[in-house]
């Protein structure tokens, strides 16, 4: 889907009837093994005013997939556009709940990836990521099965006991621990970083109760590890409108498996 940030009358590149750039346009360069379905697009300076938000979204995920933090400057350089256009594109994606931005305009989260530590680490065969939350951390082995089994590590918020599991997309990990989701689903995007930072794994329900008593918070939803594992491939806290929805899961898996 072709979704330029600028309006159609501002575009300087030619386009086909469905809005996609004309392959005959000499400024479109196809490169084998690029980030989008086997090719990438490079633009001449005349077209730097526009950025394709779908290309931008995939570029964000491609950098996260490699274990890198997608920063505005590097995204702009890689897409042959300006930081201002990347920032505008990211704002558009954030408005659609495809990712979350920090106060500085940088990317904080693009589920199930995160650019900031929120209590989990996830180590694949050759990459290491911050795990956004319990849900996102268990989702990564399903999204990137070639990197599985992944080592998901965290500490219990109540007693600081360390925990780690080998997680893949075949069967749930073994463990008596429980996951606690503090924020109800309907309120997750009120503050998505707070939501994810409070989707944690505890030693037991006893630790959940102790943590709630100490923090003065109300009990959320508690589940065992098999339930969390089965939930992980279904979606992320981003919900059906975000990058892991049915409409966009295929292209996301395409870049992640390259």
- Whether omega before 101 lies within 30 degrees of 0, making that bond cis, reads no
| The CATH classification of domain 113-237, taken from the options 3.40.190.10, 3.30.450.410, 3.40.1190.20, 3.40.50.970 | 3.30.450.410
| The CATH classification of domain 8-109, taken from the options 1.20.58, 1.10.10, 1.10.287, 3.30.379 | 1.10.10
Under 8 Å between Cβ of 244 and 57: no
Q: Give, in order, the Cα–Cα distances in Å from 153 to each of 134, 137, 160, 212.
A: 10, 9, 12, 22
Question: What percent of the chain is predicted at pLDDT more than 90?
Answer: 69
Helix axes 53-65, 83-95, angle to 10 degrees: 90
Q: What is the dihedral of CA 190, 192, 194, 198, to 10 degrees?
A: 110
- The domain ranges of the chain are 8-109, 113-237
The pLDDT assigned to 32 comes to 31
Residue 235 pLDDT class (50, 70, 90 cuts):
low
Same fold, 8-109 and 113-237: no
Which positions ≥6 away from 212 have C-beta within 8 Å? 218, 219
Under 8 Å between Cβ of 202 and 157: yes
Q: Is the pTM of this model over 0.75?
A: no
C-alpha 161/C-alpha 141 separation (Å) is: 23
- The pLDDT tens digits of the residues spanning 88-140 come to 999 999 999 999 999 999 999 999 999 999 999 999 999 999 998 999 999 99
Dihedral (CA of 169, 172, 173, 177) sign = positive
């Amino acid at each position: 889907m072709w979704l330029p940030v600028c309006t159609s009358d501002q575009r300087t590149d030619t386009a086909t009837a469905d809005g996609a750039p004309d392959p005959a346009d000499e400024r479109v360069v196809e490169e084998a093994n690029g980030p989008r379905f086997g090719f990438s697009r490079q633009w001449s300076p005349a077209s730097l005013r526009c950025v394709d938000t779908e290309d931008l979204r995939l570029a964000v995920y491609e950098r996260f997939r490699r274990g890198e933090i997608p920063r505005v400057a590097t995204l702009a350089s890689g897409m042959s556009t300006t930081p201002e256009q990347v920032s505008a594109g990211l704002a558009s994606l954030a408005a659609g709940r495809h990712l979350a931005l920090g106060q500085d305009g940088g990317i904080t989260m693009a589920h199930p990836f995160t650019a900031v530590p929120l209590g989990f680490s996830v180590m694949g065969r050759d990459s290491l990521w911050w795990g956004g939350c319990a849900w996102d951390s268990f989702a990564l082995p399903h999204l990137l099965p070639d990197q599985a089994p992944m080592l998901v590590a965290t500490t219990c918020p109540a007693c600081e006991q360390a925990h780690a599991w080998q997680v893949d997309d075949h069967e749930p990990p073994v463990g008596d621990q429980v996951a606690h989701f503090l924020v109800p689903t309907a309120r997750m995007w009120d503050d998505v970083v707070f939501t994810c930072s409070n989707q944690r794994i505890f030693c037991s329900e006893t630790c959940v109760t102790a943590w709630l008593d100490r923090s003065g918070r109300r009990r959320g939803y508690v589940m065992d590890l098999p339930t969390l594992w089965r939930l992980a491939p279904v979606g992320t806290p981003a919900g059906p409108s975000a990058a892991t929805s049915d409409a966009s899961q295929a292209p996301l898996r395409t870049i992640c498996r390259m």
